[in-house]
Amino acid sequence: MIQGITIGITVLFLFQILYYTSKNKLKDRHAFTWILIAITGIITGIGIPLLNRFALWIGVSYMPSLIFLIVIVVMLSMLVHQTIQLSKQQDMIKTLAQEHAYLENEVMLLKQKSENGPDTFTHTGRQEKP
């Protein structure tokens, strides 16, 4: 009974991931990770009796606590990975903002130079005194 419920829920989860991927709400790179997690859930649902024996073999008397421990470790690892990605993106955004400001300044200087004539500004954008 519990195997059927576990497998059913993970199959629904797998279909949800495939649906979001097909609607371009979830990128393929991230969908792959979630599909692997769903397949692992299906395999876990099928192997519940083996997990009970494995838990007893390593000294865990209540198998669901072992599953929760594994899930918590996996989710924490995913959170760390997402935090690393967020940090990289923040650095990229900062660099892009700085480049944008520099280019915007260059465009402004070029506009001023074209309005006032070609020889009135130096390379730094300051007006030379004649």
3-state secondary structure of 24: coil
Instruction: Give the pair of three-digit tokens for residue 40.
Output: 């692992």
Instruction: Give CA–CA dist 36/29, Å, rounded.
Output: 11
Q: What is the pTM of this model?
A: 0.64
Buried b (16+ CB within 10 A) or exposed e, 7-46: beebeebbeebeeebeeeebeeeebeebbebbeebbebbe
DSSP, collapsed to helix, strand or coil, labels residue 53 as: helix
Q: DSSP string of 54-104?
A: HHHHHT-S-HHHHHHHHHHHHHHHHHHHHHHHHHHHHHHHHHHHHHHHHHH
Q: Which two tokens stand for residue 94?
A: 């900062």
Each residue's pLDDT, cut to its tens digit, for the chain (130 residues) gives: 778 888 899 999 999 999 999 999 988 888 998 999 999 989 988 988 898 899 999 998 888 888 899 899 999 999 999 999 999 999 999 999 999 999 999 999 999 988 887 555 555 555 555 5
